[in-house]
Structure formats: C-alpha cells, structure tokens
Amino acid sequence: MSGAGLTITGRAAPHSHAGSSVDRIMLQVCLALVPATVFGLYLFGWPALLLWVITCASAVATEALCLLLQDKPLSRLRDSSALLTGWLLALTLPPWAPWWIGAGGAAFAIAVGKQLYGGVGQNIFNPAMLARVALLVSFPVHMTTWVQPDLLSSGAPGPWAALDIVFGGGIPDGVTGPTILGEMKTAQGAGTVSELAAGSFNWLDSLTGSTAGSLGETSELLVLLGGLWLLALRIISWHIPVAMLGTTVLLAAIFHRADPAHYASPLLHLTSGGIMLGAFFIATDYVTSPSSKTGQLIFGAGCAAVLFAIRAWGGFPEGVGFAVLFMNAFTPLLDRYCKPRAYGRNLRGRPTVARTPARKVR
Amino acid sequence: MFMATLVLTILGFTLGSALAFAAKVFAVAESNPIVEEIEAMLPNSQCGQCGFAGCKPAAEAMADGSADPTCCPPGGRALAERVAELLGIDINTLGESAAPQLASIDESLCTGCTRCYKACPTDAIVGANKQIHAVIKSACTGCGKCLDACPEDCIHLGAETPDLHNWQWPKPMVA
Amino acid sequence: MEYLTLLGSTILVNNIVLAKFLGLCPLMGVSNKLSSALGMGLATAFVLTLSALCGWCLENYILRPLDLGFLRILSFILVIAAIVQFTELVMRKFSPILHKALGIFLPLITTNCAVLGVALLNVREDHGLGESLIYGLGSALGFSLVMVIFAGLRERLALAEVPATFAGTPVALVTAGILSLVFMGFGGML
Amino acid sequence: MSIFSPIRGGVHPEGRKGDTAGQAILTDIPLPARLSLPLFQQAGASALPVVQVGERVAKGQCIGVSGAGLSTRLHAPTSGSVVAIEDIVAPHPSGLPATSIIIEPDGEDRWQERPREDDPFARSPEELAEEVERAGIVGLGGAVFPAAIKLRQGRRYEIRTLIINGGECEPYLTTDDHLMRERAAQIVEGARLIQHIVECYEVIIGIEDNKPEAVAAMREAAAPFGKVEVKTVPAMYPMGSAKQLIQALTGREVPAGGRSNDLGILVHNVATAYAIQQALRHGRPLLSRVLTLAGGCVSRPRNVEALFGTPIEHLLEQCGGLRDTPARLVMGGPMMGQALPSTAVPVMKGTSGVLALTRREVNDQAPSPCIRCGRCVDACPMGLMPVEMAKFARADDFDGAAEYGLRDCILCGTCSWVCPSHIPLVNFFEYARGEMKQRRAAAQKLEYTQRLTEARNARLEREAEEKRAAKAARAAKKKKPARRATAKADNEASTTTSTEDCDS
C-alpha cells in the first residue's frame, strides 16, 4: 500500500502516524447527530423516517453514480461524507416534505455542490446548505409547510399513511402550523414581537424541541449536546460556534434592548431554527470554513451577522443556509488574509528583528 | 435636429479636447523595452538551439509571442520562468522545458585538438594542445557547439546524473 | 439614513452583478487572479461612480432642458467612453503592471453594461444628484465585492481537481450561479 | 496544544522510549569485519580522501580532509588497512551510491600518537575551535552541521546564552537521555568548554520533563559550576528542535531567515558537547557515537556506542537480531528520520538511531483527498499553513507555497503525522524545496554562463582588435613574424582564461 507511488525508501518522514482517519472523523460527526435525529424522528413519526432514509440513500447513490462516471474508485464511499451530507440535509427539511424534495435535494447537493467541484475536500460551498437554499428558493411552499409535533396524539400517521404523505397526497389538513421564526416574521411586520414572546413562545419547549420546525433542528438542546461531544473529541474547535452564537446573542441583545417590539430576544434567536445545527455542524464543515483560527472567528461572526440580518430584516424567516453559504464564499479570502503568525515573523509576515543587535564589535 | 447635432458636437469636442489634454499630462514614454530585457536574460551564447539565428531574434520572437519562453534549452526552466513572468504568461500553461544537458568528453577518444574549446561560447572546456580536454560542469550550458566542432566525435550531451549532492525528492503522486 | 439604506441595498440586495446580471463579462474575464480582479473592480468602480455623476448632470442640465431624451444612450456612451479613456491614461501612467494585467478588459469597461446600466437606471428611477452618486457608488462597491469574492473562489478552484468536463469556465459559471443564489438570501431586505 | 504550552502547535506522539530507557549503553561491541566510511557524512560537501588503498591506518588517523565549503574531517575509527575506496549504498533515502573508504580492522585498536593531555581551559578559544575542527565534530543531534563552523560563527557574535539541547523529543530515541544519565560530568565539561570558546555568559541545559533521571544526573554534575543551569521543558514534539527549545527556554523567537546567533544564543546538542569534551580534554577525534536501536522488529532494543562505519546489521546482531522483517527501516527518529535501503548500510555521524518498525508502528495508508480539517495548521510548531503549502507545491506553484511559509518550514513532520487523510505533506515540501533549490542553482548558472559569454565575446573582440592593429602594423612595416606572435598569444589567452574559470 505505498499508495504514493514511491518506493519505501523514497518516502519522506514521518514514519509514524497519529492514527486519525477521515473515515473515523466523518463517522463520529454522524454519531453526534444521532440524538437530535432520533428525537426528531420520534417527534414527527413515520413520514419523517421515510424522508430521512430517502434523503440519505439518494445522497449515497448520487455519490456512487458520480464516482462511477468519473472512473474514481467506489471505495471513496467509505469515508461516509456523502451520508453525512444527506443526513444534514434531511435534518434541515420540513419533516413531512414529499419524497422528491429529499431525493432531489440530496442529488443536487452531491452532484452540483460536491462532485462538480472534484469531490470531497474540493467544494467551495457546503453541499447540504446549498441544496437547502436551492430547494427553498425553488419550492417555497413545500419548504415552508411545517407540521405540529403531535406524535403522541391519536392523529399520528401510521406507516401506510406515511407512505401516502411522502409519496402521494401530501400533508393532510389540520396538522400544519407555523414555526416560531415564521411567527416572528409576521410579528415583526406588525411590531408585535414582544407579545409573541409573552404568548406562543415558550423557551423551554423551543430548547427541547417540541415545536414545529425542521426534521432535526427543533431540539437545540440535543444538537448542542452532539456539538459539545464533537468539541470534546477535538473534531471541531470552539472558534466558529462560539463566534457565531456569541455574535448572534450580542446583535439580538442590542436590537432587542433598543426596540423590543420589532426585535426578538437573544433567547428566542438562540433556541429556535437551525442556529445550533448551523453553528456546530454546518459552519464548522472543514472543507468550506477557513483553516486559521482568526479566520474561523471572523467566519463565525460573519455567519451570525448575516443570519441576524436575514432573520430581522430579510424576506426569509430562517437564514442559516444563506448565512453559511455567504461566508463560504469568503473562505478563500479569509484563508489568504488571516494566516496565523509564523514563528519568527510579525503579523504582516516580515521577519522579526532581534531586539538587540548581537553582532560583536571586534 | 439642429439642437441635437449641436449638443453632440459640443459634447464630443469638449470631451475630445479634455482627453487630448489628459493624454499630454499623463504621457508615457513609448518604447518596447521587453525585447531588450529578454535578450539580457538569455545566455547570449548565440548557440541557435532555439531555431533562431541568435539570441536577439529569439528574444524578439518570445516578445511577440511567436516563440515559447521554453524554447531556450540552455536557459532551461529558470529562464523560461523569468521570461514568462515578464511577458505575463502563466508558466504552468507552458510545456516542460527540456532537461538541462551537459557535454562530456570521452577521454579515450580525445586527441587534444583544442577545437572544442575554441568553439565553446562559455569557455566551459579546459585543456591545452595535445592534452585531453575536460568540461567544467558549472559553466556548460549544453549548447552542443562543441559536438559539431569535435573531429573525433568524442563529445556527448547528456542529462546530469543524480548523486547524493544534487539528488532531490520526487514529487509524490497522490490520488 | 436613507442614503445608507440605498447604499446597502445596491451593494447586497440589488447587487449589480448577482441580482441584475450586469457586467458579467469582466466577472468571468478578469477574475483569475485576486490582484487583477481588485484592480478591475476599482477601475470599474471609478468609472461607474464618475459616469453616474456625469450622466446625471448631462440628463438634468442638457438633455432634459433641451428636450433631447432620445440622445440619452448615445451621449451617455460618449461620456463613458471618454471617462474610460481617461482612466486608462491615468492607469498606464501610474500602474503599468496593472495596466498590462487588465489588458483588453480595461478599454472594454466602455462596453460594460453595468456602467451604462447604472447611468440609465438612475434616470429611470428619477434619482436626485445625491441618490445618483450613492447609487453609482453602491453599484461600484457591489461590483468590486463580487469581483474580489469571485477571484478568491477561482483561485481556489484553480488548485481543485475539478473534473475535466467542468474545469475552467463551466465551473466558474456554476459558481457564479450559486453566488447569485446566495445573494437571493438578502431579498426582501430594505 | 494547550494555551499554556511554551511553543506553538506541537503534538504528543506516543513516546515508546521504555524499551531502551533504563538499560545502560552497550559499549563493548566486537569489531565488525569491515568498516565503511562514506565521505559524505555531513551537511555540505564531501570530504576528500587522503589515504590510498592498501595503506595502514591507526586509530584516530585522519583519512579524509575537508572538501570545499561546509565540510569536516574523517578519521579512522580503529586501526587497520584501507582495502578499498569504492561506492557503497548510502544510508540515504535516495539509495544512491556513496564513495566510501573501506577499512579492514586489524583488531589491535592501536591509537595514533596523541597529543599530551593538558588543561583545555588554559588554552585560547581560537586554538580550541581549531581542535574541534580537526576532530571532525559535527552536530550530532541530526543536522550534522560542522560544529567548528558553528563555534566560529558564535565567536563573531555576542553570545550571551549557550543552550545545550537535551530535549530529545523523537519517539523511541533515548541516546541523549542515556548520555546525560551516564556521562553527565563530561557533558557539563563540554558545555563549559563551548562556553569558554564562545565566551558566553550563561549555559542553560534544556531537558524534557519526561527524563527525570537525566535531569537529576545533569543537575548534580552542573551543581559545582555557577551559570550552568539545568531547566526542564514540557515533553512534546518537536521540543528538540533548536528554534522551539529557544522559544520554550527564553520566550524569544529566532527571526525568520536568521540564526539563533541573532538573539545572542548558541545551541548545541548534548552529544555534541560530549564529543567536544572528548576531543579537547583527551584529544580523541569523533570516531563513534551512541545510537538507539529500537522498533517493534528489534528483539532486544538497546542503546549502543558504535564506531562509524559499522554496518547496521552488525549492531542489530548485538541486539538479538530482527524479530520480524521490518515494514520500514529508519535512520534517526520516526518523525524526521530517513528510510534506509537496507541493513547493510554503515553507521554515520548523523545516525542517532536505527529503528526497525513494524507495519503497525508505521501505520502507512494510501493518501485520501484533503478535507481541509486544519489539524496541520493547529499542530504546526512554526505557525504555518501546511495544507495550503502542499496544495501549491502540488500544482508546482512554488512562489505560492513560499507565500504560505515553505521557507520557514523545519520539516518536523508534525503535519503529516496528524493528517487524517495520510497526505505525505513533508514529501511535498521536500520536493518543493528541492525544486526551488534547483531553480535557484539554474538561475545562478545562467547568470554565470552569461558572464562567461560576455567575457569571451569581449576577449574575442579585443583579440580581433589586436589582430587588426597588428595587421595594420604589418601592412605598414611589411614584417612577417608579427602574425605568429599574435596567434600564439591568442592560444595562450584562451587556455589561461579557461583554467581560471575552473577555479571560480
């Protein structure tokens, strides 16, 4: 397996390795998504499970097809990056969306968002978010039809009814409802945000996730848990999540203090929508975020600024996808201009000068 | 109609005069120093391996784009890169330059006729009458003029053989 | 505040390149390297702002009083061409390297539809002098922003292993499309 | 990786030093049948042989003198006869041949007459530096840079601090550890001799905190002397790199492209200090060194003191041979060492260890695409961006790679070690560096040949001018011998210029 095409003696040091691997990293990220996913599936029932399976399967199948078309080894599938993309996309979809949303979105994510750029590690935009944004723009109705989580009630669809929902007739009447961010958008127009906060917004529900929303985004708590696990494993660093959440809180706090009738509290911003998933799983995507720590801080703050702008003033109720994609576009520039300071050089890359000239005068 | 013509005429005249004035103020000395710059970079050994009559015609050809910067074998990759940079050509779009060649004298055949070192444009061959000649590697551009001059046919061109001092790591092939 | 809103809106929401799809020629042509993209962006920005200003003056002091609206496009092009020529002269004097790097694209600013487009849009929207200036400046900044972002992306794409079929312009066009999609996120704002 | 770390980045590879730590250095190795001494022992140019085939040599006799530029002497490690000067496979990743002096020991181990032993501290620093040069001492930590040159450079600067590098951070290797445990007094004296030579103010002996025995031994040995201080540094890789050790001990950074001299600091390895002490106190040139034989395939890992030129297989036999066919044979440590083509290669001055590693230990896997995880950026002790450097090197854009720090890279291998995609980053950097070096050399050659051409053209013109003048004179005087004289002058002129070029 001297895969580098060199003889053994031609291999440069090191002759040892930490033992990390891409496969393991991707798998661990998937594992970190499990709690939030399981809860989402429990909350939204059979149609959600079907949608999740379809989306993941479509992602993997598209990846396999693209690899075949490019004569690349199918063993690349083993890194499960396609599975992760499909999984993340599924978590951001409305839980009872029709099958073609999931299948088409995942295919778009892999084919256009990833393989078109040369496959894993080469893409510029986060594939899952790209697909979500493309779907949102193309099918605004399907992408904003949310169901109220009421699995425990007798009205929950069984497996057969679920098949009908996902593959056929669509969502029956009477189970849909707005997300808290959707309500906020309406309230912003009317200047009744403060009443909303007092009324239908319950931060505990919002945090634990028993609210209307995307398949796996509703429970900010469980997503946060997975994210913290990744942090503990050192798979992600704290820079992007902290910068993103911190900036959101800061901006929300400033505007909320200034005008509570039009701007929601930081608590609402932090506990609703896809912000946790975005901060811990999507913005931290290795490929599309900067490598340097300074770059990551700016990246996270930028994501939060755009996210807040869209939530507060934009036409869409949720802006995580747009925000992350927007900052993805800046990643090459951030990588270029936020290099870490090199040893023996100042911040501008010039060699440091010894404080005292050490040349001996003889 | 008259008004329109008048307005356009005045407008054109005003802008034209302004531009003429600006051209005077921001005038740049017109010359083509590029050919001279390239010529200064070339080995100037007039070896003719590029297919041109000498280094100046080659420089002219490189400047107007009819010859590639890689066309000078003695200059090698280093020269090609500098010329490409001067001309604003992406070096990666150019093909591989020929590997630098070195002349070597087969000592068993050399008669010490001194013809090769008289022909050498860089004085890279040492020796005296009736003595076996040798090539100084650091001065040889591999132009091949000595090959034509040698009556015994004892000079050969070849790429430098790698040894521990000039060996370097190959480029790793990664999937 | 009103001007600020207009500025923000022209930079992000109604970005001249990604929302109005004007000025795509230099976007594809000069975005291979960050330095030349920035130079092009600034040169175009200069021309754009100046021509928006000149266009407004021409419209309000000559064309409208003399009722010569039909000469608008013709005279605007005349003015723009003159400004571009002027820019080229200045650039050749002070930054010959950039002048060489931009090459044919510099005189082609004349035919950059963004420049004429902004001048004409100013007339159509009936902007005042200040608004015209801000509108021109905002469009110019938006154009420069997109140029710089796009150049950064393309520099990275140049090193990526894009499948041969898509390498070069195709993937750049796809990327431009995605960027446009991303900028739609600002829609409805302002 | 903590924020309290005294250096940037860095990693904590598994030490695996336990196999050899605690066992005394094995010194009584039987003489091998042949000693092969490559002339290319150090950084810079090869030595030039001064013995002939068939000549008898005594132990410590100089058999190779410094070549041009950076170079050192080579000495006969034992008495015997020179049986050949021939090409052998070099202990080098290229596997290319290296010209070597082959000595067949006569078993007498007869020393060359040695100068009397007097107090080196009573002698002048210049004299001592001269003697270090005569002893053929190079940096034994791995850089194999001639020690005397470093000392002389040090004398030209105002050196305040001498750092003795005991931060042996490479996994497996315990040579410096054991040298410090067993020969602490000699090392401290060596350090004081260097202090005497460069006339510096203080000596700091920096030792990683995972070597408590060595620290204790060195503390004891250094106790009687003021201004010789033993300091511990956290054990992490690459703490043994001079730049990182300076940063950890003094908090200062060597300017990019500069030397530690610029800070008034000189760094020498403990083994070098020991060798210097041996040379100056006992008049012993550098004939042997301590090296670690370890790795999963070595039956009884051990530190041995071996004569230069001893074949590695001979040493391995002393350690019970190989348990298994190694997946990779490495000279030096696993992080920065170089793969060896075979066990037949000899021990050289820079051989700090020989590792016979199992497949598991090497953990070499086919590289997969980079996922830009940024671990290399976090781990880089020089604060560079290996991911970008490799990307540019791969596209042959060496200026781009240099912009991200290729020139500052110390090739420590930390980035490759952490890379989850198993990308051979160091390979890319070695390649890019080599390519850049070659291009620089080519550019210099181009300039040189241009100068030669100009000189030749000028000469030809002058000669033509002279000929014309002579012709004119001849035409005026109608004299014949002038022509012959000119032709002769022409001939001579070209010969002399050619030989001059040879020297330059």
Which residue segments constitute the domains of chain B, with CATH numbers given? 33-93 (1.10.15), 101-159 (3.30.70.20)
- Kindly tell me if the per-residue pLDDT of C33 is higher than 70: yes
- Kindly tell me if the per-residue pLDDT of A277 is higher than 70: yes
Contact (CB<8Å) C158/D395: yes
Return mean pLDDT, chain D. Answer: 86
Cis amide bond preceding D32, omega within 30:
no
Least confident of A7-11, C129-133, D481-485: D481-485
- Kindly tell me if the per-residue pLDDT of B59 is higher than 70: yes
Token pair for D336: 């920065």
Domain presence at residue D482: no
Residues D442-459 pLDDT 10s: 778 878 887 888 888 888
Q: What is the pLDDT of residue D311?
A: 93
Q: Which residues of D touch C (CB under 8 A)?
A: 369, 391-392, 394-395, 397
- Measuring CA to CA, which residue among A317, A288, A318, A315 is closest to residue A300? A288
Enumerate the known binding-site residues of D. 370, 373, 376, 380, 409, 412, 415, 419
Q: Which residues of B touch A (CB under 8 A)?
A: 169-170, 172-175
- Kindly tell me if the per-residue pLDDT of D496 is higher than 50: no
Contact (CB<8Å) B174/D367: yes
Q: Provide the CATH number for the domain around residue D161.
A: 3.40.50.11540
Q: Which of C149, C162, C178 sits opposite A130 (nearest CB)?
A: C178
> Of all residues in chain A, what percent carry a pLDDT higher than 90?
48
The CA distance from B70 to B79, in Å, is: 8
Contact (CB<8Å) C66/B8: no
Min Cα distance B162 → chain A (Å) is: 15
Tell me if C117 sits within 8 A of C22, measured CB to CB: yes
Domain presence at residue D245: yes
Mean pLDDT of A91-119: 92
Residues D352-369 pLDDT 10s: 999 999 988 888 888 888
Q: What is the pLDDT of residue D498?
A: 41
Q: What is the pLDDT of residue D80?
A: 93
Interface residue C156 vs chain A (CB under 8 A): yes
Q: In whole angstroms, what separates CA A38 from the centre of its chain? A: 17
Min Cα distance A257 → chain D (Å) is: 36
Contact (CB<8Å) B169/A3: no
Interface residue C159 vs chain D (CB under 8 A): yes
* Residue-wise burial string across D196-235, b where 16 or more C-beta atoms lie within 10 A, e elsewhere: bbbebeebbbbbbebbeebbebbbebbeeeeebebbbbbb
The CA distance from B158 to A289, in Å, is: 49
Q: D45 or D478, which is more confident? A: D45
The CA distance from A14 to B85, in Å, is: 36
Mean pLDDT of D425-432: 92
Report whether B150 belongs to an annotated binding site: yes
Residues D90-111 pLDDT 10s: 888 887 888 899 999 998 888 8
Report the SS3 class of residue B140: coil
Residues D295-311 pLDDT 10s: 999 989 999 999 999 99
Closest residue of B to C71, CA-based?
B4
Q: What is the pLDDT of residue D495?
A: 45
The CA distance from D111 to B9, in Å, is: 105
- Kindly tell me if the per-residue pLDDT of A154 is higher than 70: no
Dihedral of the CA atoms D105, D107, D112, D114 (nearest 10)? 130
Return mean pLDDT, chain A. Answer: 86
pLDDT band at A303 (very low <50, low <70, confident <90, very high): very high
Token pair for D258: 């500069």
Residues D143-190 pLDDT 10s: 788 888 888 888 888 888 999 999 889 999 999 999 999 999 999 999
> Of all residues in chain D, what percent carry a pLDDT higher than 90?
45
- Kindly tell me if the per-residue pLDDT of A3 is higher than 50: no
Least confident of B54-68, D260-274, D376-390: B54-68
Provide the residue range defining the domain that includes D16.
1-31+119-364
The CA distance from D316 to D299, in Å, is: 9
Q: Report DSSP letters for D41-66, one per residue.
A: -SSSSPPEE---TT-EE-BT-EEEE-
Residues A216-274 pLDDT 10s: 888 889 999 999 999 999 999 999 999 999 999 999 999 999 988 888 888 888 888 88
The CA distance from C91 to C85, in Å, is: 10
Q: Which chain C residues are closer than 8 Å to B16 by Cβ?
A: 82
Return mean pLDDT, chain C. Answer: 86
Alpha helix locations (H) across chain A? 22-69, 81-92, 99-111, 127-138, 159-167, 180-190, 193-198, 203-208, 220-232, 239-258, 266-271, 275-277, 293-313, 320-337
Question: Which chain C residues in 9-48 lie under 8 Å from chain A, judged by CB atoms?
Answer: 34
Q: Which chain D residues are closer than 8 Å to C158 by Cβ?
A: 395
Contact (CB<8Å) A6/B173: yes
Domain presence at residue D22: yes
Report whether B143 belongs to an annotated binding site: yes
Enumerate the known binding-site residues of D for [4Fe-4S] cluster. 370, 373, 376, 380, 409, 412, 415, 419
Interface residue C163 vs chain D (CB under 8 A): no
> Of all residues in chain A, what percent carry a pLDDT higher than 70?
91
* Residue C42: count of CB within 10 angstroms of its CB: 18
> Of all residues in chain D, what percent carry a pLDDT higher than 70?
93
Q: What is the pLDDT of residue D70?
A: 76
* Residue-wise burial string across A231-250, b where 16 or more C-beta atoms lie within 10 A, e elsewhere: beeebbbebbbbbbbebbbe
Provide the residue range defining the domain that includes C126.
2-186
Q: What is the pLDDT of residue D480?
A: 55
How many separate domains does chain C show?
1
- Kindly tell me if the per-residue pLDDT of A296 is higher than 90: yes
How many separate domains does chain D show?
1
- Kindly tell me if the per-residue pLDDT of B114 is higher than 70: yes
CA distances from A119 to A162, C85, D110, D425 (A): 34, 45, 67, 20
SS3 content of chain C, % helix, strand, coil (to 5): 80, 0, 20
Report the side by side order of strands in the sheet with D62-65.
D48-49, D62-65, D74-75
Q: Which of A119, A292, A345 sits opposite D256 (nearest CB)?
A: A345
DSSP state of B43: -
CA distances from B134 to B106, B120, D105, D143, D502 (A): 9, 12, 38, 35, 10
Q: Which of D90, D431, D446 sits opposite B171 (nearest CB)?
A: D431
Report long-range pairs for B30-39 (Cβ below 8 Å, ≥24 apart).
B32/B63, B34/B63, B34/B86, B34/B87, B35/B59, B35/B60, B35/B63, B37/B86, B38/B62, B38/B63, B38/B83, B38/B86
Q: Which of C71, C85, C101 sits opposite B8 (nearest CB)?
A: C71
Report the SS3 class of residue D298: strand
pLDDT band at D497 (very low <50, low <70, confident <90, very high): very low
Domain presence at residue D110: no
Q: Which of B8, B27, B28 sits opposite C75 (nearest CB)?
A: B8
Cα angle C132, C136, C137; round to 5: 115
pLDDT band at D412 (very low <50, low <70, confident <90, very high): very high
Residues A156-196 pLDDT 10s: 677 777 787 778 777 776 677 778 888 888 887 777 777 77
